[in-house]
Every structure is written in C-alpha cells, then in structure tokens.
Amino acid sequence: MAPLDLTADVVSLTRALVDLPSESGQEGRIADAVEEALGALAHLTVDRVGNSVIARTDLGRPERVLLAGHLDTVPAAGNLPSRLAGGRVYGLGACDMKGGVAVGLRLAATLPETARDVTYVFYECEEVEGERNGLGRIAAARPGLLEEAGLAVLMEPSDAGVEAGCQGILTADIVIEGARAHTARAWQGVNAAHRAGRVLQRLDAHVPERVVVDGLEYREGLGAVAVRAGVAGNVVPDECVVTVNCRFAPSRSAAEAEAYVRGLFPEYEVRVTEVVAGALPHLDRVGGLVAALGAEPRPKLGWTDVARFAALGVPALNYGPGDPSLAHTAGEYVPVGHLGRCEAGLRAWLR
Amino acid sequence: MAPLDLTADVVSLTRALVDLPSESGQEGRIADAVEEALGALAHLTVDRVGNSVIARTDLGRPERVLLAGHLDTVPAAGNLPSRLAGGRVYGLGACDMKGGVAVGLRLAATLPETARDVTYVFYECEEVEGERNGLGRIAAARPGLLEEAGLAVLMEPSDAGVEAGCQGILTADIVIEGARAHTARAWQGVNAAHRAGRVLQRLDAHVPERVVVDGLEYREGLGAVAVRAGVAGNVVPDECVVTVNCRFAPSRSAAEAEAYVRGLFPEYEVRVTEVVAGALPHLDRVGGLVAALGAEPRPKLGWTDVARFAALGVPALNYGPGDPSLAHTAGEYVPVGHLGRCEAGLRAWLR
C-alpha cells in the first residue's frame, strides 16, 4: 500500500482515503496509514487507541481546540473505487466523511504553527452501536485528552456550513396488549393490532414542537418507525408493538424527553430502548469560530458526536464538506468546492 | 410394529393411533397400518392414494355415504405417548383427530352389513397447505370416488355434536403507502404506519354480520392478524401492510367475500392472498342423519374440509369426538364419553 501523501491536494487525498476501504470494525489499514503519515510530522505527537489516531500540537498556547472526523464508513454499495466527475468526488464515504477527514489531515500536515494548540482526532466505529464508538474508547482510555480542548469542530458533512448543536434521540416501544383467540371466534379475544390504531392516529395527529435555542429553531419529531403484530394467520394477535423515534431539542434533557413521550401514551406500557441527549449550540462559546468561518449557523437536526463532546463539557459544532442527506446513499459524493472552502475556512481560523 | 387391532375397544384404538406419530408429511407408517388392518377385512375394498387410504363396502345399496378423518397431526409438543386419565385420552392428536379416526376404523371393521354403502376415507396432510391435502389428491387421482357419496360425515372434533356447514376464509394484505424520509426530517416524508391507524381503527369499529342460513346463525369475523412496517430505526416507513383474516358465512361466495372486503377499504390496495368458500349446512339433505344422531345442529364457524366436499357437490357435516378449541394445544385430549357416543351414534345410523 502506498503511504498517504498529506502534501497532496485535498481532492487527491479524499480519493486516496475513499480507496482505502474502512467499513466499521475494519479500520486497521486506514488507521495504520493515518498514524504513519502523521507520525512522520515533527510538530505532532501521535497517540493511538484501538483504531483511532490522535495527533496533538504542543506549542504552549493558552487555548486548545479539537478537530475530529471518523474513519469508518457504512458497508460498500457498489460505489468503489472513487471517481472524480463534474466537480465532485464520488465513492463510498466521500461525503460521510472522508472529505472531512482529508481536510483535517491536510490541516494537521501543513500547519506547524497555529494560534491555538490543536488536537486532531481520527476515530473508528462512528456508524455502529454507540458502545463501539472511537471517541468513547478514547475518553475511557485517555481521561482528559478530549476534555482539555475548549472547543471542538466535528467535520461531519454540513454543506460546508456551520450546524450548531444537535437534537437528542429517544427510541421507545409502545406495547399494546390484547388477548389471543382463534379468528373463527374473534370476539373471544381482544385484538391488540386494532387497539394500536389509536396509538398510530395519535402519532399522526401529533404536532411536534419547534424550540428556539440561541436563536436557532430546532424542529422536533415523533413518529413510528416500526409496527409489529402477528402470531399466526388464524390467531387474534395479543400484542402489538409500535416503535417510535423521537428527535428532541437540545434544551431538553434525556429525562425530560422520556417524560414527554411517556406523557403522550399514559395508558400503555412504554419501553424506552435508547435515549441520548443532544448538544446545545453554545453560540456564546463557538461564536468566534462561527464569525471566522463567515457562516450563518443553522440548527443540526440529526444527532451527531457533537453530543459526546457536549457530554464531556466541550462545546462543539458541525462543520464539514458534503450534503448530509447524501450520507449512506450509494451515490454519495462530496463537491470539490466544499473541500476547498472548508480547508480554507479552518486554515484561516487556526492560523 | 404391532398391527392395529380394530376389534379392540375405541379407547385402546385411539391410544394406539396416538402412539403412532404421524406429523403431516410423515403419515407413511400410520397409513401402512391402516391399509393393512382394513385390507384384512373381506367386506371392504381398499385403495390407496399417496398416504391416504380409502375403504369401500359394495353391498349394492341405492345410497352411499362417506366417513372421513385425517391421519396427520401438527408437530408434537411434549405430548407423547398417550395416557388415559380422568376419563380422557391425552396425547398428540387425541382430539384432532385420532379419536375420530378410531371411531371410523371401528365402524369400518365391525359393520359388514350396513343400510347404506359406506366409503371410509383416512387421509393425509390436512394440517398443512391446501395443495397437499389428501382429499384433494384423491379427488384428482380417482375422479368420482368421493363424489359418488350422497352425504359425507367429517369426523373433526365437534364436541360429539353436529356442526353443520362451515364458514369461508379470506386473507388479504391491505397495503398502505407512504414516502421515506430520515426521522430527523420526518416532515419530508409520509409515514405509512401513521396512515395505517385509520385502517386499524376501521377494523376495530367494524361490526361483523350474523347471517342465518337454514336457521343456523353464522357469525362472521374480520380483523387484523398481522401488521408489518419498518425500514430502519431512523427512517420514516414508506409501507405498512395490515393482514386481515375474514370469516364469512357459507351463503357468500368467494367472489362476494372479496368484493365485501375490498369495499371496506376502497382507498387502499387490497391484495387477496387466500380465499376459500365455506359450505352450506344443507340441513334439507343431512336432516336424516342429524335426526338419527339426535343432535341439535350448530353452525361450524371454523373452516373444515366439509367445504371440499361441498365443492364436489357432496353435502357434509362435522361430527366427531373432542372439543375443537383444544385442537393444536399441547394439552389436547378426547373424552372417553365422546368416543363412545360418536361410535354409537354413527353405528345406529349406518346399521
């Protein structure tokens, strides 16, 4: 394998990263390449936790900032190798988020002198269950390493604009009970699926709130993502489970979100299977960066790892190349213009 | 294997049949035993189709009747071997329907002289998909053999009473469409599960009809037996399928039942996956038998193979030992009293 050339332009570097497959759990090769390339730079101290690589400047600046991007991708979908066409880099992970990683690597390699000390984090397993997430592993293995930064930039695709904070996620099963019976004598039972009609209609009629935080409007959401009922073709089902996914504004805590959803379905068993708070935009603390980037901040509706930084007490925002709605699609791409804009914006701020 | 002793009492014979496992598709041994036992009787002509056995008297009577029972059972559920306790024979198939088969075999063996010619049918694969059903295979392989009977008694469990006719069955998928979206931007999609709420509530509010045929009230039914929706935990589902099971009175044709269900859901795609008509009670044609058995006929709500006989132009009724609600349960049993009552009732009528 050819080593990564961090002096190459950001487009070439993006393509080289795309062509280094790194589905979640299989980031060994790309982490090796990143570690080797960064390890060759005298101005950086490089550390590794699992298949995550951390590189730090140590210039004695009073302030430290952190740039982070994940190395892993979802599974391939016939979208390898990379190709450049019409001003876009196509290929697995081009958008989510090897374009952002390329920007981060370019900055790490070409900015020996910065106004603030910088910690660069390139991590594993963002696309899978949270326990495997590289940031979590780093936080556990190197206490204080992430927290020493006063500000974090997560280079997830955000259309090369600033997406501030992020909403929380709650997933719950609403369990509707009934009583089995043979369908030839259905009146002897209670049809749980029929009873679920009320739950689904309540969800249909529900008007999610719009919550303004720091002047940004977070549009909440609550809806069914799955419905399951069925015992056999001739049996009245005695259980119907409606799985709901709730997106809640960062001003609500996980406990508040849970109480909110339970309050909407007081007469049913509600089993919360996942709840993670979002991240406040903290425009007061990230304002300098936002101004330097010259971007009008927008609210981030999807959950991202900025919430992990928020939980560590590090205000963070999303800023990276690529359209987030293309993430995980077979046709994902990153515009060359985004790559240049993000690299230039962060370079100006860091220098 | 000891041969079946058809001169033994009906309880011993029921237990011997239970102890001869014959899950659907594995009726070879029990069919061999039945064929061998009946073949030894001079007054019967024995024929075999697959693992179904047909035995006929040929006394030149002007009228012929048919007694039928299936040899197969659902899979075992820790309920073998048979045991006799508290006046009941317990064990796999005791109720559904080796008790009825024992009654039929006893009559076949011990009634060389009957007022009507008799065709006894012991058949395979009643508990599985209709194409494998032994009666269907006999009808295809021996045209006219079943149809020559003027009347059929299906010895399915009916609490040792007469259950006349049977209701039809229709199964259909109601397909509710939507449009996918990421749940963080749910308003960009249309949630098919939410739309299904209206379908389920309509089913919940639906009042099935009660249809009187020959003075018997057939209570219809229509309800969901399965609901399926779900793409991924963060995706607004674009399809929800509600599977409904309809039980319809024997006075409706399959086409009428289909039009009825479609008419209830005119705004959705309705995919009919199964529809089989029921069987009219034909009390005018089975009245003599009903009177001989001294039983007050009740309507049969579940579908049984009497509908196959009806489709062949042979009026049929259900009359057999055992509580039909115990069929397919691990604790199924047949009361000894039912065995004796059914054997005596049919013996009196045939003789």
Tokens, residue B286: 């089975």
Q: Residue range A50-66: average pLDDT?
A: 97
Percent of chain B with pLDDT over 70: 100
Map out the domains of chain B with their CATH numbers. Answer: 10-165+279-350 (3.40.630.10), 168-276 (3.30.70.360)
Are A227 and B228 a contacting pair at CB < 8 A?
Answer: yes
List pLDDT tens digits, range A217-247: 999 999 999 999 999 888 999 999 999 999 9
Q: Which pTM does this prediction carry?
A: 0.87
Name the nearest CA neighbour of A299 among A248, A244, A257: A248
Are A224 and B191 a contacting pair at CB < 8 A?
Answer: yes
What single-letter DSSP state applies at residue B185? G
CB pairs under 8 A between A and B: 159
When pLDDT is cut at 50, 70 and 90, the band that residue A93 belongs to is very high
List pLDDT tens digits, range A97-106: 999 999 999 9
Cα of B22 to nearest chain A Cα, Å: 22
Instruction: Decide if A120 contacts A104 (C-beta within 8 A).
Output: yes
Instruction: Verify whether residue B126 is a known catalytic residue.
Output: yes
Instruction: Decide if A107 contacts A343 (C-beta within 8 A).
Output: yes
Stretches where chain B sits below pLDDT 70 are: 1
Minimal-distance CA residue of chain A relative to B190: A204
Question: For the residues of A239-263, what is the DSSP string, one character each?
Answer: EEEEEEEEEE-TTS-HHHHHHHHHH
The position carrying tokens 């930039």 is: A153
B56 φ/ψ sector (left φ>0, alpha ψ -120 to 50, else beta): beta
Residue-averaged pLDDT of chain A:
96
pLDDT at A295: 85
Nearest by CB to B183, from A185, A223, A233: name it. Answer: A223
When pLDDT is cut at 50, 70 and 90, the band that residue A275 belongs to is very high
Are B219 and A247 a contacting pair at CB < 8 A?
Answer: no
Helical (H) or strand (E) element with B100: helix B99-110
Distance CA B12, CA B220 (A): 39
pLDDT at A287 over 90: no
Are B229 and A229 a contacting pair at CB < 8 A?
Answer: no
Q: Which has more pLDDT, A3 or A132?
A: A132
Residue A298: φ, ψ to 5°: -115, 155
B333 φ/ψ sector (left φ>0, alpha ψ -120 to 50, else beta): beta
pLDDT at A197: 98
Instruction: Verify whether residue A58 is a known catalytic residue.
Output: no
Catalytic residue among A72, A220, A238, A323: A72
| Dihedral angle over CA of A152, A155, A159, A161, nearest 10 | 20
Q: Residue range A186-193: average pLDDT?
A: 96
Catalytic residue among B35, B47, B124, B126: B126
List pLDDT tens digits, range B265-296: 999 999 999 999 999 999 998 988 999 898 89
How many other CB atoms are found less than 10 A from the CB of residue A212? 11
Residues in A touching B183 (Cβ below 8 Å): 221, 223, 225, 245, 247
Q: Which of A195, A225, A236, A238 is best to mutate for the B interface (most B CBs within 10 A)?
A: A225
When pLDDT is cut at 50, 70 and 90, the band that residue A1 belongs to is low
Nearest by CB to B186, from A202, A221, A237: name it. Answer: A221
Catalytic residue among A35, A126, A159, A214: A126
For the ranges A90-94, A148-152, B210-214, B289-293, the lowest mean pLDDT is seen at B289-293
What single-letter DSSP state applies at residue A179? B
Percent of chain A with pLDDT over 90: 91
Distance CA B115, CA B272 (A): 45
Interior angle at CA B7, CA B3 and CA B10, nearest 5: 100
Residue B207: φ, ψ to 5°: -105, 110
pLDDT at A212 over 70: yes
